[in-house]
Structure 1
Amino acid sequence: MKADYQDLVDEISALLGAPATLENRDFGLIAFGAHDSDDDTAMDPVRTRSILTRKSTPAVRAWFEGFGITRATGPVRIPAAPDAGVLRDRICLPVRHRGVVLGYVWLLDADPGPSAGRLTAAMEVAERIGALLADEERADADLSRELRAVLTAEGGWQYDMAVAALRTALGRDAEGLHALLCVAPWPGPGTPSVRTAPGVAALCTVPWPARTARDPHPRGTGAGGAGAEAGGAGAGAGGPGAPRAGAAAATAGRAPAGPGAADRGLAGPGAAPPGGAAHGLAALVRLRSAEAPAPALTAATRLRDAAGGGAPSGAPPTAVWAAGGAGAVPGAGHPAGTVVGVADPRRGVGDLAQAWREAASAARAALAQPRLGPVAPWASIGPYRLLTALPPAPPHDRAVRALLAPAHTELARTAEVFLDNAGQAGRTAAALGIHRQTLYYRLSRVENLTGLDLDDGEDRLLLHMALKTARM
């Protein structure tokens, strides 16, 4: 498709004797003609910026749109505007299809300029460009419908038919290696173009909290060791010799708690993302290798930016993927807003139901526990692989119901940090910024409220799971 646009732009350049530039209706660069003139004035700052950055400034856009190019059906001559950086006169050829403007072809104007006959011929080429752009937009929309059908199918024959339709729509891409992304929350039901991020084969919006297809071939949680990891977290918290609430015992020899531990609050997003957003975005991204996830992580960053989530902070997402664990992220978290869950890579599209479950679960985990995001590969979320498989709003266990009341938020936070730090009093007190005796007092209150024994491994596991589940 790119070569088709380039050929047509070169054809216009040859017709009018000047290098042409093709942009979409949002002033994003699509193709440009070669500049082979010795005249330096043939390249002004606007054309240079468009080619180098693939976009125009708001001031330039406002100047051009002020001459009615969005409504024009024929060539529009636009004078220079040095204050906006437009140092040369322009000719704009609107690119339309069935009355809808889809882009613009730009040329620098000079006396005497191209004849009316040549401009008419150039507009005929622009119409062919419009047909190509319209076909591409239709293809994007069709793929959105096909991908959405797969992700929302009930399973069985409905799922199989939706997968077959998506496979047909993707063509040769269908059997390639992909990673499925879940961007949540997404602002509204509109689906962006696949050109928003490199490597994206299909995009669609879905209801959020995510409603996923039943996996026609259930295989558990999908990532080896998830059960052991979750169990290990609980067992470690309740190991023999851990300090009992109120005791003056101290433990040593372990690394201090990671940064940000003291900032972990218990108030999670509940069943829906902050702000009550009702949509997520699914993105199917092409990969060359399962060991080279850069295209998926780049697409995640671009789509998060498009949703207004801002740039990721903390460790690079590649470090999280490579390590395969949440501990790889040195924990300052990320700004409130959009997160991206990334499923394990898969070849073909037959297993998208499980991939979507992974991506949506990773996004839920990152919304509940900011240190996991803002880009959260499935492999990095640890015990949240099991927690996110629980029902959306499980009833709180009666032993912890009182502790989860708003009046005891600080006690709940203290208990969670204590269990996160494997029951080590010194690390917990340092993470919370309190004296050990204050910690022991709070833990004794936790025991009184819950009736649980924090020296008992199973009681610790129950409390830890209940606190983490409350985030979901």
Structure 2
Amino acid sequence: MRSVKGDYQDLVDEISALLGAPATLEDRDFRLIAFGAHDSGSGFDETTLDPVRTRSILTRRSTAEVRAWFEKFGIATAESPVHIPADPAAGVLRGRLCLPVRHRGTVHGYVWLLAGSDGPPAPVPAPAMAACARIGALLADEARARADLGPYLLTLLAPESAESRASARASLGEALGGGGPYALLCAAPWAQPVPGVRTVPGAAALCLLPVPGPAGPRLAALIRIRTRSDLSPAHLAAGGLLAAAGPVVGIGNPVHAPDELPGAWREASAAARAALARPRLGPVAQWSEIGPYRLLAALPDSGPGHPVDPAVRPLLEPAHAELARTAEVFLDCAGQAGRTASTLSIHRQTLYYRLSRVEQLTGLDLHDGEDRLLLHMSLKAARL
């Protein structure tokens, strides 16, 4: 049985022959799928391999900067061939002809051809565009085959047996291939049906975890990103989730392999809990930016069994909410009375009175570093 990759190669070779120029095929995330060989009779030689094309072939993907440069010409929404001029400063030594690979109104990839000259390109023959349409149908079929990866992701993130998780990890890894890195998102609480993969930009898999507690249930979204340092696709997907249901969204650190996803899920869930506890951190919160909540979120979700230090418990009663807030702001301000009074818009004497009441209620000494640490962490944990 012939592989789908073989079909892609045949179609790319067909387009190269029809247009008399070497062609490459990339998906919409600029990952290389196939490329046509150079024909010595076509007028192209090694000197036509500019740095951008060489890198694409050798690494099988383009950089985020290259992608952004080409996308500014409107290729992501184009319905017809797009001519892109040469730009030596960007490493593009020859112009390009981009043939959008579409299926039912959606761009699934691009066929790239090096222009033979700097003049306007010749019209693209209908058979070449028909080949692009066949490529689009193949890519769409592959996308549909990948669309139902949610059950594998759910098994991998939920407390299933080790055997079930191992099977899900293998299936998910096979379906995703070498397409990392990825970011895992946690939208919480999520009371809507699980959206379709196509409705969330860059989503590879979606699933709903019925997690108990104030931040559950939670939607997990596995998002394709370009590089570990560029989380813009994850933020784009988070924006779509916020618009759909208005939750907070936590983003874990990027990962490459399925076996890293449980750790990324803990991070994403922690970031979502932190955004619920401290709205200033949200509505989209990255785990790397939630400060002390990275540690505190390792505690169980708050509830009847949530641990509270006995010394701090009286301060957390509703009747003492203003004293608890005063103590938290004081500790957030590193114990600086002037900053604290200014933040709370109160007189210093009022501040000193409230702090003395905090010490009376808790038995803690706010001049003692360890007592201050215990109080500070207890107040932050109570928010979760």
Q: TM-score of the superposition, structure 2-length normalised?
A: 0.61
Structure 2 residue 153 is matched with structure 1 residue 147: yes
Find the aligned partners of 1:288 and 1:406 in 2 and give their Cα distance: 47
Name 1:382's counterpart in structure 2: 291
Task: Provide the identity percentage.
Answer: 57
Would you say the 8 A contact 1:185–1:208 is kept in 2? no
CA offset digits 1:186-221 (Å, max 9, x no partner)? 123x21112223221111111134xxxxxxxxxxxx
Name 2:196's counterpart in structure 1: 193
Find the aligned partners of 1:32 and 1:410 in 2 and give their Cα distance: 58
Read off the aligned partner of 2:214 and give its amino acid letter: A
Q: 1:281 aligns with which of 197, 219, 227?
A: 219
Q: 1:368 to 1:148 in 2, by over 3 A?
A: same
Q: Deviation at 1:402?
A: 0.8
Name 1:418's counterpart in structure 2: 330
Would you say the 8 A contact 2:214–2:301 is kept in 1? no
List aligned pairs for 1:214-363, cutoff 5 A. Answer: 271-273=213-215, 278-307=216-245, 309=246, 338-363=247-272
Find the aligned partners of 1:187 and 1:134 in 2 and give their Cα distance: 30
Name 1:181's counterpart in structure 2: 185
Find the aligned partners of 2:347 and 2:369 in 1 and give their Cα distance: 25
Task: Give the match's secondary structure for 1:454.
Answer: coil
Q: Deviation at 1:157?
A: 2.8
Would you say the 8 A contact 1:163–1:349 is kept in 2? yes
CA offset digits 1:275-304 (Å, max 9, x no partner)? xxx421111111221111111111111121
Task: Give the match's secondary structure for 1:346.
Answer: coil
Name 1:203's counterpart in structure 2: 206
Name 1:440's counterpart in structure 2: 352
Would you say the 8 A contact 1:342–1:377 is kept in 2? yes
Name 1:402's counterpart in structure 2: 314
Name 2:94's counterpart in structure 1: none
Find the aligned partners of 2:380 and 2:139 in 1 and give their Cα distance: 51
Read off the aligned partner of 1:156 and give its amino acid letter: A
In angstroms, what is the RMSD of aligned CA positions? Answer: 2.8
Read off the aligned partner of 2:210 and give its amino acid letter: P
Would you say the 8 A contact 2:252–2:267 is kept in 1? yes
Q: 1:170 to 1:366 in 2, by over 3 A?
A: same
Task: Give the match's secondary structure for 2:149.
Answer: helix
Find the aligned partners of 2:186 and 2:140 in 1 and give their Cα distance: 27
Q: 1:302 to 1:448 in 2, by over 3 A?
A: same
Q: 1:455 aligns with which of 367, 371, 384?
A: 367
Task: Give the match's secondary structure for 1:350.
Answer: helix
Find the aligned partners of 1:459 and 1:33 in 2 and give their Cα distance: 66
Find the aligned partners of 1:132 and 1:423 in 2 and give their Cα distance: 59
Task: Give the match's secondary structure for 1:289.
Answer: coil
CA offset digits 1:347-386 (Å, max 9, x no partner)? 1212111010110111111111111111111100111111
Q: 1:186 to 1:285 in 2, by over 3 A?
A: same
Would you say the 8 A contact 1:146–1:162 is kept in 2? yes
Q: TM-score of the superposition, structure 1-length normalised?
A: 0.50
List aligned pairs for 1:37-116, cutoff 5 A. Answer: none
Name 1:391's counterpart in structure 2: 300
| Runs of at least 5 residues in structure 1 that lack an aligned partner in the other structure | 5-29, 35-94, 96-128, 210-270, 310-337
Find the aligned partners of 2:288 and 2:249 in 1 and give their Cα distance: 13
Would you say the 8 A contact 2:157–2:261 is kept in 1? yes
Find the aligned partners of 1:191 and 1:130 in 2 and give their Cα distance: 26
Find the aligned partners of 1:32 and 1:430 in 2 and give their Cα distance: 55
Find the aligned partners of 1:155 and 1:372 in 2 and give their Cα distance: 35
Would you say the 8 A contact 1:196–1:303 is kept in 2? no
Find the aligned partners of 2:139 and 2:376 in 1 and give their Cα distance: 56
Find the aligned partners of 1:136 and 1:199 in 2 and give their Cα distance: 11
Would you say the 8 A contact 1:151–1:352 is kept in 2? yes
Q: 1:386 to 1:155 in 2, by over 3 A?
A: farther
Find the aligned partners of 2:166 and 2:150 in 1 and give their Cα distance: 17
Find the aligned partners of 2:232 and 2:143 in 1 and give their Cα distance: 25
Would you say the 8 A contact 1:418–1:424 is kept in 2? yes
Find the aligned partners of 1:171 and 1:451 in 2 and give their Cα distance: 58
Find the aligned partners of 2:77 and 2:225 in 1 and give their Cα distance: 25
Q: 1:183 to 1:153 in 2, by over 3 A?
A: same
Would you say the 8 A contact 1:153–1:162 is kept in 2? no
Name 1:158's counterpart in structure 2: 164
How many residue pairs get aligned? The number is: 256
Task: Give the match's secondary structure for 2:259.
Answer: coil
- Which has the bigger relative contact order, CA under 8 A and spacing at least 6? 1
Q: 1:285 to 1:33 in 2, by over 3 A?
A: closer
Task: Give the match's secondary structure for 1:399.
Answer: coil
Q: Deviation at 1:169?
A: 2.8
Task: Give the match's secondary structure for 1:283.
Answer: strand
CA offset digits 1:434-465 (Å, max 9, x no partner)? 11111111111111111111111111111111
Q: Deviation at 1:168?
A: 2.5
Read off the aligned partner of 1:194 and give its amino acid letter: V
